[in-house]
């Protein structure tokens, strides 16, 4: 459909050029004369082509709207161009009066352009959704007859077996058929610690494999595959129509009624006053053509195009424009914790030495020597810290696991253990208070020859951006709450650290949904932000659902807006953008229709007795001026959204 509108626009625009050149008004305006003798008939032929070819989508739309008994923008456009073509054709073949051929052509051109801009802007934002595809593996290692071949994910069939190497993202939903590893499923369950997976366990596409290799039997293919879900999201986004667009249709509905009522009323009035039919007909045609402002066709499309483009560049993918515009009304924002306010991975937050003969770096180095051989969920976080700090890890011998307590090995001739607090207490070793800073951390201790050398604290770290995001959102007057599947201690620690208004720990997906409903019943306009399957019901129920781009496709599919960069700060930008977009749309509606207040009565001949009568040419100038104002006003939105300033 987009290609069709664009094709009709360009062809109609080319045909419009000779219409403008041959139009008497344009000749008078530019001070030249060009009369071919058959100019009027050539204008008729060219304009008739534009009317039927360029105007076909609107004529077809008129029929569709009338069948639904909901006349709107298509009806208004179709009525205006039909009257313009019919009246101008009549004047070409004998009826006295001025033609509307150039107004007809430019009106159709602008309306085709407006509709194309709007559709392209939505598709442009939806095309940006392909960025989410990049967050998923595009290829998989398929196993066949003992050989490994790299294939596209969409080429996989159900019951195929794929190899997932350490550190890779799992490409499909499936079941582990061989191997053992720890998988980061924070985006699915809300639990920040990696989950151990072995034969028979289910895994979800997009989750991150740990240190072990896995062979996974594919279970979800075809329509259930991630890529197809993204395509469906795009289709839904294109079909979505915002409330403000509905407002445009309502405005068009009333303008249609006004055009028909005043138009036929004008005809009847002037005939009753004894004027000629030709005079009365010209007044009626002028009223009905002027009532359809060119600017109204651009009022929404230009703003939508700019807002979606700027938002996409800022990492906001708009799936539902109604929700985007409604973001200005949000009074309460509910956050998921893991992967939204926090980084979603278990990493080292602090480490240090207790005994003077050990340095902080040595504590990390000794722990790294052991964890390099471990598949424990905490090992990956410690090894990542070792890598980040550039620490050289010595070799470890005689590695052994202390069931439920930790691990031990021989490093440079010393017995080194990385153990839990319980193990240390069992050895009657006193634990220094400095090791326990807050409840959201998991702390392990390093023992060297049974002497307490130091500690390593780990947690799902709070995003640095979360602090500023909470500050900005509270400044904007929003109530901020957190709903997480994590435990009470961790939830309270994160909520207190960020200064949230409230929190709910250990909540399941259905409980998150019920909390959202409770807030809505109490009069709050609720936005929900999350990244996992456990957030999907609440995202779908909230007035505005915001999915974190690094999360699951299920979350993205049920949300209205997607934060591609997974940055909580973008939420405050979202609310500002929503306010500015709505404001500009309303302003453009006012500019697009305000001139009718003056132009329609003058076109009808209300001041005819005072010698004031608006001609089609003057009406066209009014329309052009209104269009220019709307276009400039829409461009101002770009500046405001880029700079982030408010009026």
Neighbour tally for 179: CB within 10 Å? 16
Choosing from 160, 173, 249, 336, the catalytic residue is 336
| Alpha-carbon distances of 555 from 534, 563, 618, rounded to whole Å | 8, 11, 54
* DSSP 8-class letter at 169: B
Distance of alpha carbon 591 from alpha carbon 406, whole angstroms: 71
Crossing angle between the packed helical segments 243-272 and 569-604, to the nearest 10 degrees? 0
Q: Is 194 in contact with 182 (CB distance < 8 Å)?
A: yes
Tokens 């107004």 appear where? 103
Q: Which residues pair with 93 in a beta bridge?
A: none
- Residues 547, 548, 553, 559: what is their CA dihedral angle, to the nearest 10 degrees? 10
Q: For the chain, what is the total number of helices (H) and then of strands (E)?
A: 23, 22
- Residues 583, 74, 235, 565: what is their CA dihedral angle, to the nearest 10 degrees? -20
Distance of alpha carbon 402 from alpha carbon 396, whole angstroms: 16
Q: What is the DSSP string of 268-331?
A: HHHHHTT--HHHHHHHHHHHHHHTS-TTHHHHHHHHHHHHHHHHHHTTEEES-HHHHHHGGG--
In residues, how long is the chain? 647
Residues 6+ apart with CB under 8 A from 235: none
What are the structure tokens assigned to 441, written together?
């951390």
Neighbour tally for 28: CB within 10 Å? 11
Instruction: Note the helical H segments in 549-604.
Output: 553-558, 569-604
Cα–Cα nearest to 569, from 470, 425, 448, 452:
470
What is the three-state SS of 548-561? ECCCCHHHHHHCCE
Neighbour tally for 428: CB within 10 Å? 6
Residues 6+ apart with CB under 8 A from 228: 222
Residues 6+ apart with CB under 8 A from 577: 307, 310, 311, 314, 316, 324, 327, 641
Give the neighbor-by-neighbor strand order of the sheet with 406-411.
Answer: 342-353, 451-462, 442-448, 414-419, 406-411, 397-402
Q: What is the DSSP string of 242-276?
A: -HHHHHHHHHHHHHHHHHHHHHHHHHHHHHHTT--
Distance between the two ends of the chain, CA-based, in angstroms? 37
Distance of alpha carbon 351 from alpha carbon 384, whole angstroms: 13
φ/ψ of residue 40, rounded to 5: -60, -40
* DSSP 8-class letter at 51: I
336 is catalytic: yes
Cα–Cα nearest to 346, from 304, 312, 380, 308:
380
- Residues involved in catalysis: 336
């Amino acid at each position: 459909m987009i290609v069709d509108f664009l094709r009709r626009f360009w062809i109609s625009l080319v045909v419009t050029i000779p219409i403008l050149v041959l139009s008497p008004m344009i000749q008078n305006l530019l001070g030249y004369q060009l009369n071919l003798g058959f100019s009027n008939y050539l204008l008729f032929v060219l304009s008739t082509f534009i009317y039927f070819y360029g105007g076909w989508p609107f004529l077809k739309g008129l029929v569709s709207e009338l069948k639904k008994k909901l006349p709107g923008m298509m009806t208004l456009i179709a009525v205006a161009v039909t009257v313009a073509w019919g009246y101008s054709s009549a004047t070409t073949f004998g009826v006295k009066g001025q033609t509307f051929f150039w107004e007809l052509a430019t009106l159709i051109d602008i309306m085709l352009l407006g509709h194309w801009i709007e559709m392209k802007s939505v598709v442009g934002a939806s095309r940006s959704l392909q960025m989410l595809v990049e967050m998923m593996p595009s290829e998989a290692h398929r196993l066949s007859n003992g050989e490994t071949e790299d294939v596209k994910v969409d080429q996989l069939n159900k019951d195929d077996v794929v190899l997932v190497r350490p550190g890779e993202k799992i490409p499909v939903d499936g079941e582990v058929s061989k191997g053992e590893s720890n998988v980061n499923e924070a985006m699915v369950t809300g639990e920040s610690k990696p989950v151990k997976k072995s034969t028979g366990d289910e895994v979800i596409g997009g989750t991150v494999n740990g240190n072990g290799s896995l062979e996974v039997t594919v279970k979800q293919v075809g329509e259930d595959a991630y890529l197809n879900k993204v395509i469906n999201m795009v289709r839904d986004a294109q079909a979505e129509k915002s409330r403000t667009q509905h407002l445009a249709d309502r405005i068009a509905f009333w303008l249609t009624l006004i055009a028909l009522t005043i138009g036929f009323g004008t005809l009847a009035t002037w005939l009753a006053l004894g004027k000629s039919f030709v005079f009365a007909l010209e007044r009626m045609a002028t009223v009905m053509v002027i009532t359809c402002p060119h600017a109204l066709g651009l009022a929404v499309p230009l703003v939508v195009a700019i807002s979606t483009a700027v938002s996409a560049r800022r990492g906001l993918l708009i799936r539902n424009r109604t929700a985007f515009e409604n973001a200005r009304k949000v009074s309460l924002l509910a956050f998921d914790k893991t992967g939204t306010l926090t980084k979603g991975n278990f990493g080292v937050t602090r480490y240090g030495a207790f005994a003077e003969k050990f340095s902080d770096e040595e504590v990390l180095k000794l722990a790294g020597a052991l964890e390099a051989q471990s598949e424990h969920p905490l090992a990956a976080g410690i090894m990542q810290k070792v890598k980040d700090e550039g620490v050289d890890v010595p070799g470890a011998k005689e590695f052994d696991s202390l069931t439920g307590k930790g691990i031990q090995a021989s490093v440079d001739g010393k017995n080194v253990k990385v153990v839990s607090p319980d193990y240390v207490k069992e050895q009657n070793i006193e634990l220094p208070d400095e090791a326990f800073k807050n409840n959201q951390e998991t702390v392990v201790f390093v023992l060297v020859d049974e002497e307490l050398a130091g500690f390593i604290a780990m947690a799902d770290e709070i995003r640095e951006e979360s602090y500023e995001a909470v500050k900005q959102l509270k400044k904007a007057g929003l109530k901020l709450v957190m709903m997480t599947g994590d435990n009470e201690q961790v939830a309270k620690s994160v909520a207190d650290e960020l200064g949230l208004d409230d929190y709910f720990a250990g909540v399941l997906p259905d409980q998150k949904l019920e909390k959202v409903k409770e807030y809505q019943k109490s009069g709050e306009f609720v936005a929900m932000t999350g990244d996992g399957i456990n957030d999907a019901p609440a995202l779908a129920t909230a007035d505005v659902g915001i999915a974190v781009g690094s999360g699951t496709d299920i979350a993205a599919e049920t949300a209205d807006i997607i934060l591609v960069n997974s940055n909580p700060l973008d939420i405050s930008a979202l609310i500002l953008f929503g306010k500015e977009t709505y404001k500009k749309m309303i302003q453009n509606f006012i500019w697009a229709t305000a001139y009718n207040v003056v132009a329609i009565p003058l076109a009808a001949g209300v001041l005819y007795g005072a010698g004031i009568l608006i001609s089609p040419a003057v009406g066209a100038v009014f329309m052009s001026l209104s269009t220019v104002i709307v276009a400039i006003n829409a461009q101002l939105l770009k500046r405001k959204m880029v700079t982030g300033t408010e009026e």
